[in-house]
């Protein structure tokens, strides 16, 4: 999901069909809204976050249909820039933050992120 978001962020393509490859529901809506806001404000995102997700829990444990994933993502090299002149935005501040995701097994057997939370800088 994050790789698709990174790619879409290069042009703030809030309509990218790739966003739905690994996200559904609230997660997909939040990704699209974030990109739309950047598009509207003339902002693009460059670079990539550093992610090392781990499974925090699985339900049920013997044959899961829902998994909670946790991470301490680093956005130090994934920053927002003005699309018109390439200048770093004044609101840009990268760093480490706690990320939690809900990943649900789909009817076709695939797994997709249905919701996620990205907390403030310094939360991990």
Per-residue pLDDT tens digits for 46-70? 999 999 999 999 999 999 999 999 9
Q: Is residue 124 part of a domain?
A: no
Q: Is residue 50 part of a domain?
A: yes
Can you give the pTM of this predicted structure?
A: 0.92
Q: Is residue 123 part of a domain?
A: no
Alpha helices in 10-101 (DSSP H): 25-40
Q: Which domain holds residue 61?
A: 2-118
Q: Is residue 9 part of a domain?
A: yes
What the block records as the tokens of 115 is 């919701």
Buried b (16+ CB within 10 A) or exposed e, 64-81: beebebebbbbbeebbbb
Q: 111 Cβ partners below 8 Å, 6+ apart?
A: 67, 103, 104, 105
Q: Would you say residue 13 has pLDDT above 70?
A: yes
How far apart CA 99 and CA 97 sit, in angstroms, is 6
């Amino acid at each position: 999901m994050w790789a698709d978001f990174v790619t879409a962020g290069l042009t703030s393509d809030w309509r990218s069909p790739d966003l739905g490859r690994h996200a559904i529901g609230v997660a997909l809506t939040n990704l699209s809204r974030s990109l739309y806001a950047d598009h509207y404000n003339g902002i693009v995102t460059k670079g990539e976050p550093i992610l090392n997700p781990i499974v925090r829990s699985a339900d049920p444990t013997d044959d899961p249909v829902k998994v909670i994933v946790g991470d301490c993502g680093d956005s130090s090299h994934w920053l927002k820039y003005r699309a018109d002149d390439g200048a770093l935005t004044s609101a840009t501040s990268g760093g480490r933050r706690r990320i939690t995701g809900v990943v649900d097994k789909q009817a076709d057997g695939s797994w997709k992120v249905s919701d996620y939370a990205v907390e403030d800088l310094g939360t991990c």
